[in-house]
Amino acid sequence: EMSPQEQAFQDRVDKGEKIEPKDWMPEGYRKTLVRQIGQHAHSEIVGQLPEGNWITRAPTLERKAILLAKVQDEAGHGLYLYSAAETLGVSRDELLDKLHSGKMKYSSIFNYPTLNWADIGAVGWLVDGAAIMNQVPLQRTSYGPYSRAMIRICKEESFHQRQGYAIMMKMAQGTPDQKNMAQDALNRFWFPSLMMFGPSDKDSVHSAQSMAWKIKINTNDELRQKFVNETVPQAKYLGLTVPDEKLEWNEEKQGYDFSEPDWSEFFEVIKGNGPCNRERMDARVKAWEDGEWFRDGLNAYADKAADRRKA
């Protein structure tokens, strides 16, 4: 049973009104947003690690400049998203503390290694491609600050996807060895990319309530299907093979039938047992600890400046 206040809130959501930071909102709505926006922010930040790993080894100066810009964009996305989460009454320090202590999640995909340059192409094409597929509808999410952050992020994200596809194109049209590298990267990133959309709808604990509140606009399976439908022709254009024997066009549903990812692998990865979970968390915690002297210095300077203004 909804209270009159909750009913009034739901009516606003149903009418498509944006909810703003100072508006009344149910505690569950606030908590769900803090969880989702916080996780999303953490994903952007942790997501810099697998690609940052290749900045020093990019094959040309141009590729290096592009990758550097892209990885910096991800840092910016993380910062907008932490700011959006802060409007809900949670501090950035609190969110980071929860990430570092393993109490908050970040996207499963960033726990897979990037072994060679073709992987950077596959990450841009598939991982950023999946990210946009999920984020375009989130531009219409009911919470104002999140929705506005998504508009800017999607513009940058579509450039990321194109730079990944451009790398894949170069590799796929290169020597046989380069083409094999591109195929191998696709083989390894295909199913982990499908996992980015979350568990299948029957196992998605939050979807129903999040969709009623218009925090989420689509179910996990809807977006996964859309991603497969758009990505398979792109793979064909590259002359690469999607590593799924069950993949087949289904005329009736106007979409591809495809194999589900290995969900036991997904649940292991989000529990912390993926190939790179430890490495990623160690790198984040080290960065946080190494930055302590700098944060302390900034705070000391801010305090002094405030004292001086008082005097």
Q: Residues 53, 87, 204, 229: which binds ligand ACO (CB under 6 A)?
A: 204
Structure tokens at 47: 């997501």
In whole angstroms, how close is the CB of 155 to ligand ACO at the nearest point? 14
Q: How far is the CB of 184 from ligand ACO (least distance, A)?
A: 22
Options 60-68, 176-184, 197-205, 242-250: segment touching ligand ACO (CB under 6 A): 197-205
| Contact range with ligand ACO by CB under 6 A, out of 117-125, 199-207, 246-254, 290-298 | 199-207
Q: How many Å apart are CA 193 and CA 76, to the nearest integer?
A: 22
Q: Which is nearer to ligand ACO, 112 or 172 (CB)?
A: 112
Assess 179 for contact with ligand ACO (CB under 6 A): no
Strands (E), the chain: 248-250, 255-257
CA dihedral 266, 268, 274, 277 (to 10 degrees): 110
CA distance 43 to 85: 14
In the list 25, 34, 40, 146, the residue contacting ligand ACO (rule: CB under 6 A) is 40
Between helix 128-138 and helix 144-172 the angle, nearest 10°, is 150
- Applying CB under 6 A, does 244 fall inside the site for ligand ACO? no
The residue written with tokens 């005097």 in the block is 311
Q: Least Å distance between CB 100 and ligand ACO?
A: 16
Task: Verify binding: residue 198, ligand ACO, rule CB under 6 A.
Answer: yes
Distance between CA 131 and CA 128 in Å, rounded?
5
Cβ-based neighbours of 80, under 8 Å, separated by 6 or more? 149, 152, 153
Tell whether residue 35 is a contact of ligand ACO (CB under 6 A). yes
Minimum CB–partner distance for residue 80 and ligand ACO (Å): 12
Residue 48 in the binding site for ligand ACO (CB under 6 A): no
Give CA–CA dist 130/276, Å, rounded: 20
145 contacts ligand ACO (rule: CB under 6 A): no
Binding part of the chain for ligand ACO, among 183-191, 203-211, 234-242, 281-289 by CB under 6 A, reads 203-211
Q: Least separation, in Å, of the C-beta of 17 and ligand ACO?
A: 21
**Using the rule CB under 6 A, which residue among 195, 228, 242, 281 binds ligand ACO?**
195
**Contact status: 162 vs ligand ACO (CB under 6 A):** no
SS3 content of the chain, % helix, strand, coil (to 5): 70, 5, 25
| Tokens 């590799």 -> residue | 171
Distance of alpha carbon 151 from the chain centroid: 14
- In this chain, which stretch among 6-14, 31-39, 83-91, 295-303 interacts with ligand ACO, using CB under 6 A? 31-39
Contact 123, 162 (CB under 8 A): no
- The pair of three-digit structure tokens given for residue 278, joined into one six-digit string: 């430890």
Q: Of 48, 114, 141, 210, which lies in the binding site for ligand ACO, with binding defined by CB under 6 A? A: 210
Amino acid at 27: E
**Which tokens belong to 46?**
């942790």
The pair of structure tokens assigned to 71 is 């990885």
Which residues between 260 and 299 bind ligand ACO (CB under 6 A)? Answer: 270
Tracing tokens 């990758």 back to the chain, one arrives at: 67
- List interacting residues with ligand ACO (CB under 6 A): 35-36, 39-40, 43-44, 47, 105, 107-108, 131, 134, 195-199, 204-207, 210, 216, 220, 270
